[in-house]
Amino acid sequence: MGTRTDGEIVRAVLAGDTEQYAELVRHYRDRYARFAARMLGSADEAEDAVQDAFIRAFEQLQQCRDPDNFAGWFFLILRNRCLAERRRAVRAGPGGDAVTVPATERADGPLEQDERRRALQQALLELTPEQREVFVLKHVEDLSYEEIAGRLGASVPSLKMRMHRAYDRLRERLKDVL
Amino acid sequence: MTTVFHPLVKRFLDGELHLADLPPELHAEARAAERLLGAVDRAAVTLPAGLDARVMAEVRKRATAPSGARRWWHGLVASREIRVRYRLWTLGPALAAAAALVLLLTPARPVVEAGMPVVATAPESVFVRFVLFAPGAHQVSVAGTFNQWSVTAAPLALTGAAGVWTATVALPVGQHQYAFVVDGRRWVNDPAAPTVDDGFGRRNSVMAVGAGVRAL
């Protein structure tokens, strides 16, 4: 049996075969988990975000204009969920951001490297959500500016401006460990 | 000592230049940049298997109860008229208020004056004037679904009136959720506009704009 396309699955779900949605969940749950984890600062929060995003996507599935691009459409839902969560953290003010734990810990790396990794993860939380989003997509997800622009509907110059401000903030924040 | 990266080092970070492309005096800075990127955690994240079951349980529940949440959601997002009232509003001593005024883009239509309630109607492109009274603010912008919630894409300018910030933004016809961002950190809803749940536990201001506009 051949692999079904996302478009075929989406259309089947919209036609009433709800169980088909599980295939989309299986396919994309981990693919975008890293993005969510780096945006939110922990795997636990990423799990909540991905779960919410899948439920939200199901609720809005009729609005998915291009079922064959379910992945891109779902990404935007997850991304909005992550930005909303970051706005909530900012609104909560100092101390309202409960994220303090890096998404992964490695016992095999040098201490200095681990310290730097932790410091960077914390510093990323202090960027604006938009700056962090660009940083994560480029340096964690390894997308080009052009690919990021295509996903977010933003211009490359504006993305670079965000990123370059992020570089400066990170350097300031990490000056003791770089 | 400066703590910002040299523009060439930023291009190095972007992958547009190699170390050999940089002048020797920037090599130390470039190595610091390399250490920064070396600290990026690119490890895959695997979510617990139980997530699938939880999602599908919720999906089944919602699929079998279509008249509840779905109808509620579609009621929120479906295109319809809403009233947007233009009014300055005071929230408190440190921060105040906001309003969005829908202006007509189509020529030969009267401009709606401040203080006049308006109704937005049919489809086309429109200008929306955002106004925020925020004495003491250093920077104000409006972020919303129309600019991917960017805090920098639509800055407001301080007008002659003390503490009054404005910006006129061309928006596509439709419903838009938005909020004001003060000093890059503080998100403020528009008290003069309706709000909707953003689906994640908070509320955003919302407006519906169209090509036609008339005074109430």
CATH number of the domain that residue A166 is part of? 1.10.10.10
Domain for residue B206, yes or no? yes
Same domain, B173 and B106: yes
Name the residue range of residue A51's domain: 1-101
Higher local confidence (pLDDT), B24 or A175: B24
Model ipTM?
A: 0.82
Same domain, A73 and A144: no
Residues of A in contact with B60 (CB under 8 A): 18
The residue whose two tokens read 């479906």 is B78
Residues 6 or more apart in contact with residue B120 via CB below 8 angstroms: B81, B82, B84, B102, B126, B207, B208, B209, B210, B212, B213
Domain for residue B107, yes or no? yes
Domain for residue B63, yes or no? no
Which residues 21-40 of chain B have a CB within 8 Å of chain A?
A: 32-33, 35-40
Same domain, A144 and A91: no
Same domain, A84 and A115: no
From first CA to last CA, the distance across chain B in angstroms is 60
Query: Is the pLDDT score of A132 beyond 80?
Result: yes
Same domain, B21 and B95: no
Same domain, A110 and A97: no
Same domain, A111 and A61: no
Total domains, chain B: 2
Tell me what the mean pLDDT of segment A154-176 comes to.
Answer: 93
Whether B173 and B180 have beta carbons less than 8 Å apart is answered as no
Residues of B in contact with A170 (CB under 8 A): 36
Chain A contact for B2 (CB, 8 A cutoff): no
Rounded to a whole number of angstroms, the distance from the CA of B101 to the nearest CA of chain A is 25
pTM, rounded to two decimals: 0.60
Same domain, B107 and B183: yes
Q: Which of A74, A101, A128 is the last residue of a domain?
A: A101
Same domain, A90 and A132: no
Record: contact A139-B4, CB cut-off 8 A: no
Mean pLDDT for chain A?
Answer: 85
pLDDT tens-digit profile of A60-74?
898 888 999 999 999
Same domain, A82 and A123: no
Nearest to A30 among B39, B46, B201 (CB): B46
Same domain, A111 and A95: no
Domain for residue B103, yes or no? yes
Record: contact A140-B40, CB cut-off 8 A: yes
Domain for residue B89, yes or no? yes
Same domain, A69 and A151: no
**In chain B, what is the greatest distance between 2 CA atoms, to the nearest angstrom?**
68
Give dist(CA B41, CA B47) in Å, integer. Answer: 16
- φ, ψ of residue A104 to 5 degrees: the values are -140, 155
Q: State how beta strands B125-133 and B118-120 pair.
A: unpaired
Record: contact B39-A116, CB cut-off 8 A: yes
Same domain, A68 and A120: no
pLDDT tens-digit profile of B31-76?
999 999 999 988 899 999 899 999 999 999 888 764 444 444 444 4
Same domain, B30 and B86: no
**E strands, B6-160, in order:** 83-84, 98-104, 118-120, 125-133, 140-144, 155-158
Joined tokens for residue B40: 């990026």
Q: Which of A52, A78, A101 is the last residue of a domain?
A: A101
The residue whose two tokens read 């919410």 is A52
CATH code of the domain in which A91 resides:
1.10.1740.10
Chain B contact for A14 (CB, 8 A cutoff): no
Same domain, B15 and B96: no
Higher local confidence (pLDDT), A27 or B194: A27
Same domain, B93 and B192: yes
Which residues 31-90 of chain A have a CB within 8 Å of chain B?
A: 33-34, 36-38, 43, 46-47, 50-52, 54-56, 58-60, 63, 80-81, 83-85, 87-88, 90
Domain for residue B2, yes or no? no
Residues 6 or more apart in contact with residue B59 via CB below 8 angstroms: A18, A21, A54, A55, A58
Same domain, B24 and B106: no
Q: Which residues of B72-85 are buried (b: 16+ CB within 10 A; e: fewer)?
A: ebeeeeeeeeeebb
Name the residue range of residue B197's domain: 82-215
Using 70 as the pLDDT threshold, list the residues of chain B that sit under it: 1-2, 65-125, 160-161, 199-201, 210-216
Record: contact A55-B62, CB cut-off 8 A: yes
Total domains, chain A: 2
Q: Which of A38, A68, A101 is the last residue of a domain?
A: A101
DSSP annotation of B25 reads G
CATH code of the domain in which B97 resides:
2.60.40.10
Residues of A in contact with B185 (CB under 8 A): 90
Partners of B119 in beta bridges: B83, B214
Same domain, A15 and A79: yes
Same domain, A7 and A79: yes
Count of other CB atoms within 10 angstroms of residue A94: 6
Nearest to B40 among A22, A56, A120 (CB): A120
